[in-house]
């Protein structure tokens, strides 16, 4: 099994390698891929040393599967080239997510839809993955009409540059800025760039991807905020249903949803936090309560490590699913 990791030297790429190792994905040949400036560098995986190669070399090696985390432009140009030589591409960028011919996959929700014809598979946005995993069982039970999301997103979603900015600010050191403003002791109500309607791209990803994965009839609106934490993304979510619900049934449905850990006990101050989600693969849900201002409406709080389930873990789970379904041959 030849496995290429495109963007292997980046923050998400490093986590992808870690998850591949932890989940014992059956790799016989690892192909770490990065930009030309990193070609020739060495990385270690499974006790062995591997040399980083460029994209053209990687395509010529015809990997069985290529997991991309190298940005949208790279994915748009190179994913079709890998697919053309028979490689299954799992892409973590936004390049293919809203393409009507490409599937946007969260394995626990819609993984069964994958076929051998799906050579390029889109990994959803990190904030979307944790949201839809919690919404899915509730939509099936009660029918979701509208979702209002406010996110509190880790700086790791921006990358190494953002982490360095915050670390510099905490010791009073001048350095390169990932954001327009200081992030330490601050909240920045801008994730990604603004578009014509006044929303950011991140906010519209939450809207459009949720509709594509769950149901185009669901109304979704979002405000995405960057906060000075590194453990993961948090979301305050308000959900209006078509039918009334029972809180104990809601908790049961979430508890039984694969990939969800329920952490919801106000009597012991038990609720999800990024500090405790960091390094874990589950999505954590808590603060479950009825919205007393409106009928058939629920509030809850969702937290997940954005580098793992929000990116690397979901991608590796897709690869495992391709194996399980016999689409990816060993």
**Alpha-carbon Rg for the chain in angstroms:** 20
Give the pLDDT confidence of 130-141 residue by residue, as tens digits.
Answer: 999 999 999 999
Whether 3 and 20 have beta carbons less than 8 Å apart is answered as yes
Q: What is the mean pLDDT of residues 183-193?
A: 98
Give the pLDDT confidence of 145-183 residue by residue, as tens digits.
Answer: 999 999 999 999 999 999 999 999 999 999 999 999 999
Read out DSSP for 106-156? -HHHHGGG--TT--EEEPPPHHHHHHHHHHHHHHHHH-EEEEEEEEEE-GG
Q: What is the pLDDT of residue 100?
A: 97
Quickly state the pLDDT bin for 329 (edges 50, 70, 90). Answer: confident
| CA torsion through residues 147, 285, 16, 229, sign | positive
Backbone phi, then psi, for 16, in 5-degree steps? -60, -45
At a CB cut-off of 8 Å and minimum separation 6, what does 248 contact? none
pLDDT at 330 over 80: no
Of the listed 139, 180, 187, 233, which one is catalytic?
233
Whether 19 and 317 have beta carbons less than 8 Å apart is answered as no
The C-alpha atoms of residue 287 and residue 15 are separated, in whole angstroms, by 29
pLDDT at 235 over 80: yes
| CA torsion through residues 18, 19, 24, 30, sign | negative
pLDDT at 319 over 90: yes
Give the pLDDT confidence of 57-107 residue by residue, as tens digits.
Answer: 999 999 999 999 999 999 999 999 999 999 999 999 999 999 999 999 999
Q: What is the mean pLDDT of residues 18-28?
A: 95
**With a threshold of 0.75, does the pTM exceed it?**
yes
The C-alpha atoms of residue 291 and residue 239 are separated, in whole angstroms, by 9
Backbone phi, then psi, for 317, in 5-degree steps? -60, -35
Q: What is the pLDDT of residue 191?
A: 97
Domains annotated for the chain, with CATH where assigned, are 2-124+311-324 (3.40.50.720), 127-306 (3.30.360.10)
Annotated active-site residue 191? The verdict is no
Annotated active-site residue 139? The verdict is no
pLDDT at 309 over 80: yes
Give the pLDDT confidence of 278-300 residue by residue, as tens digits.
Answer: 999 999 999 999 999 999 999 99
Of the listed 126, 139, 191, 320, which one is catalytic?
126
Q: Among residues of the chain, what percentage have pLDDT more than 70?
A: 100
């Amino acid at each position: 099994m030849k496995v290429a990791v495109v963007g292997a030297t980046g923050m998400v790429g490093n986590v992808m390698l870690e998850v591949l190792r932890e989940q014992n994905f059956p790799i016989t040949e690892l192909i770490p891929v990065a930009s030309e400036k990193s070609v020739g560098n060495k990385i270690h995986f499974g006790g062995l040393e591997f040399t980083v190669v460029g994209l053209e070399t990687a395509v010529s090696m015809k990997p069985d599967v290529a997991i991309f985390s190298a940005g949208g432009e790279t994915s748009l140009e190179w994913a079709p080239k890998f697919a053309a030589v028979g490689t299954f591409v799992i892409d973590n960028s936004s390049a293919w997510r809203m393409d009507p011919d490409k599937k946007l996959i969260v394995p626990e929700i819609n993984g069964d839809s994958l076929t051998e014809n799906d050579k390029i598979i889109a990994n959803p946005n990190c904030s979307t993955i944790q949201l839809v995993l919690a919404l899915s069982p509730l939509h099936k039970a009660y029918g979701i009409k509208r979702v209002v999301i406010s996110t509190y997103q880790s700086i790791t979603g921006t990358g190494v540059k953002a982490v360095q900015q915050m670390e510099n600010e905490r010791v009073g050191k001048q350095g390169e800025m990932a954001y327009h403003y200081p992030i330490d002791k601050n909240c920045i109500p801008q994730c990604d760039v603004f578009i014509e309607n006044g929303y950011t791209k991140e906010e519209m990803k939450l809207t459009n991807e949720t509709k594509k994965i769950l149901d185009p009839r669901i109304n979704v609106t979002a405000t995405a905020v960057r906060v000075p934490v590194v453990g993961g993304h948090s979301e305050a979510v308000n959900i209006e249903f078509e039918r009334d619900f029972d809180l104990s049934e809601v908790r049961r449905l979430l508890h039984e949803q694969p990939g969800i850990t329920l952490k919801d006990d106000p009597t012991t101050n038990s609720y999800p936090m990024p500090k405790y989600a960091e390094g874990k693969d589950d999505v954590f849900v808590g603060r479950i309560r009825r919205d007393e201002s409106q009928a058939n409406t629920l509030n809850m709080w969702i937290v997940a490590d954005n580098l793992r389930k929000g990116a690397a873990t979901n991608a590796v789970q897709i690869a495992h699913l391709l194996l399980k379904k016999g689409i990816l041959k060993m």
